[in-house]
Amino acid sequence: MKFTVILTLVGVILLAAIVIVVSKQTPEEEEIVRQEVDITGQPTLGEKDAPVTLVEFGDFKCPSCKAWGETIYPQLVEEYVLTGDVKFSYVNVLFHGDESVVAALGAESVYKQDPEIYWDFHKKVFAAQPEATSHDNVWVTSDKLVELVSEFPSINQEQLKQDVEQELTINQVSIDKELFTKHNVSQTPTIKINGITMEDPFDYEAIKEVIDRELEANKNE
Q: In the chain, what percentage of residues exceed pLDDT 90?
A: 79
Residue 125: Cβ within 10 Å count: 21
Sheet strands side by side (includes 190-193): 44-45, 86-92, 52-58, 190-193, 196-197
In terms of DSSP bridges, do strands 52-58 and 86-92 run parallel, antiparallel, or are they unpaired?
parallel
- Which of 125-139, 151-165, 192-206 is least confident? 125-139
pLDDT of residue 133: 60
Domains contained in the chain, CATH given = 44-219 (3.40.30.10)
Q: What are the b/e assignments for 129-160, b being 16+ CB within 10 Å?
A: beeeeeeeeeebbbebbbebbeebeebeeeeb
Query: Which long-range contacts (C-beta less than 8 Å, at least 24 apart) are formed by 185-189?
Result: 185/57, 185/93, 187/64, 188/57, 188/58, 188/59, 188/62, 188/64, 188/65, 188/93, 188/95, 189/56, 189/57, 189/58, 189/62, 189/64, 189/65, 189/68
- pLDDT, tens digit, for every residue of 47-94? 999 999 999 999 999 999 999 999 999 999 999 999 999 999 999 999
Q: What is the pLDDT of residue 137?
A: 82
Mean pLDDT, residues 97-122: 97
Does 123 score more than 50 pLDDT?
Answer: yes
Mean pLDDT of 136-151: 94
CA 199 – CA 179 distance, rounded (Å): 19
> Dihedral, CA atoms, 146, 152, 155, 156, nearest 10 degrees?
60
